[in-house]
Amino acid sequence: MSCSLNLDEFPHTRYNPLKDEWVLVSPHRTKRPWKGQVEESKNPNRARFDPSNPLCPNVTRPNGQTNPDYKETYVFDNDFPALFEYEASAEDSESTDPISDDLFKLKPAKGSCKVMCFHPYSDLTLPTMKIADIVNVIKKWLEMYQELSPKYNWVQIFENKGEIMGCSNPHPHCQVWASNFIPNEIHREDENQLKFYKKHGKVMLIEYLNREIKLKERIVVENETWIVLVPYWAVWPYETMLVPKRHVSRIDQLSELEIQDLAKIMKKLLIKYDNLFKCSFPYTMGFHFGPSGKYLNEPQEHWQLFASYLPPLLRSSSVKKFMVGYEMLAQPQRDLTAEKAARELRELSDTQHYLIHSDTSDY
């Protein structure tokens, strides 16, 4: 769809077909002076081993369990889980108030929450890790998905990186939450991808990807089997989407080549992120794919696997995007256009990390 507006100067809205919602883009606002909150900006200077850090090898966690002397990845049940298994009656009490039934709904929420350490060294992050170690992380993700997916309807793999994203421990790690219910975001994406598939007979994100490859406006980096782009409908300033080039509905369908290429492109993207503001770039990332559990044997052709990186930084390592006011009460809004964000990221090195002089490059 063509538009005569100068999209770098004038406000406009963009549609997100995955969520069936619009985002307001206000590019002229990048010129406004900033006198708001400034975060503390600091480069990582962590010890390789901290005997007080409960994620390090051989350290006793608050629950009294001692971590093994692990050499690669390490997975354990979250000591303070948001979800767990328990007995609950399936019987509903009789009600004589149908309105109340519609207003006060409640269902048991059961699941499993796990923590996965990427590496025994606390001074590493994914962009400073070796490709082989990132491959170990990905294969452990697949292993955890295969373990949890038969029992639970949804398995969420995600990483919160940086204090600004609420990460309570600097040791390189992620979490995996599995639930007996489909979360809101997944439910919306499932419905909208299915609607598109029924209407057009095509996979939404594959069609979107093919058009982005032709346009080349929002592509950040790609390799033989994966592509990273700033979505047309991105909300966060330097938000990116990581998508396999072939149709893949679930993460356990990845080939060995795609796993290797995923490790390589993740490292390239994350080096770019760190180089953008010369800091250990904070973000929340996670994978979305077809539901599991009772849905494993149902057709999922409309789904396409993808990962989202949602970083909060806007102007520098110390100025972040706030989702407040209009964003909370009306609809998402961003200042930087997706095209400009992609261009800035594309022009950064994806091989030379700004901390390459650090001994973490060779461990």
- The span from the CA of 305 to the CA of 254, in Å, is 10
Instruction: Measure Cα distances from 282 to 115, 191, 285, 339, 362 in Å.
Output: 19, 30, 10, 21, 23
Q: Which residue has tokens 């002089």?
A: 357
Residue 280, Cβ density class (10 Å: 0-12 exposed, 13-18 middle, ≥19 buried): buried
Q: Which residue has tokens 């309570």?
A: 168
**DSSP three-state, residue 33:** coil
Q: Tokens for 103, please give them.
A: 């207003």
- The four Cα atoms 255, 261, 266, 271 give a dihedral, to 10 degrees, of 170
Which position among 171, 173, 288, 302 bears the catalytic label? 173
Ramachandran class of 341: left when φ > 0, alpha when ψ lies in -120 to 50, beta otherwise: alpha
- The span from the CA of 287 to the CA of 305, in Å, is 7
**DSSP three-state, residue 161:** strand
- The span from the CA of 281 to the CA of 108, in Å, is 37
Residue 173: active-site member: yes
Q: Which residues are catalytic?
A: 173
